[in-house]
Amino acid sequence: MQETGDHLSGSELIEVTEWVCFLRGQRGDETAWRKITDTYRSRLTALALMITRSATSAEDVVQETFVRALTAQVSNTSGTVHGFLGTIAYRLSVKEARRSRRHVPLNAAQEYTQGETQIERLLRGEREQLVAEAIAALSPEHRDVLLLRFYGGHSYEEISELLDTPLGTVKSRIFYAVASCREVLKRKDYTE
């Protein structure tokens, strides 16, 4: 892996830079590790929350994800850091969901962006709740591929490998899941 971006495209440079930051964090660079946790915490929390349906469990899963990532032996950096962390969070979330059947409202772990007005937070919360309900209504196989793709940050190929499912099946499940969510949102008059 090159640490300089002399011969890399913009997206490749971002991925290399993320991996360099990740690996530096593993070696004890607190600033680099803080950047990794700050960058990925909210998306990993959303993934874990959608699977565990518990704000407390989601927070625990994300914390454990970072602990495991900190000590993980990384041998392949061809994917993204987000995908790597998403895989850990997904597996821990599924395990936690099976272990515990606690349920809390999906909006319990909403994170508010600084600078948002109260009405913006309310509207965003309502939008997130509608999307979460649409995703929750999907079958488990459709919900999992959608969560891994959009919250876990995985490529189609990574999802195929992670779930041991043919690539074409992954693509069709994502297509169906998105179409189904759009239909649910359309019926609820949400058209954004």
The sign of the CA dihedral 59, 60, 61, 65 is: positive
Q: What is the 3-state secondary structure (H, E, C) of 120-164?
A: HHHHHHHHHHHHHHHHHCCCHHHHHHHHHHHCCCCCHHHHHHHHC
Instruction: Work out the percent of the chain whose per-residue pLDDT is above 90.
Output: 34
Are the beta carbons of 2 and 77 closer than 8 angstroms? Answer: no
Dmax over Cα atoms in the chain, in whole Å? 50
pLDDT band for 78, please (50, 70, 90 cuts): confident
Sign of CA dihedral 180, 57, 153, 124: positive
The architecture (CATH level 2) of 117-192 comes to Orthogonal Bundle (1.10)
* Coil/strand/helix, residue 10: helix
Kindly state the helix (H) or strand (E) to which residue 95 belongs, with its residue range.
helix 81-99
Q: pTM for this one?
A: 0.63
Rounded-to-integer distance, Cα 173 and Cα 166, Å? 11
The mean pLDDT value for 18-39 works out to 92
How many alpha carbons lie under 13 Å from residue 129 in its C-beta half-sphere?
Answer: 11
Rounded CA gap, 129 and 127, in Å? 5
Tell me if the domain spanning 1-106 has CATH number 1.10.1740.10: yes
Dump pLDDT digits (tens) for 149-161.
Answer: 888 888 899 898 8
d(CA 151, CA 114): 21
CB neighbour list of residue 38: distance below 8 Å, 6 or more residues apart: none
Residue 114 has pLDDT above 60, yes or no: no
Domain ranges of the chain: 1-106, 117-192
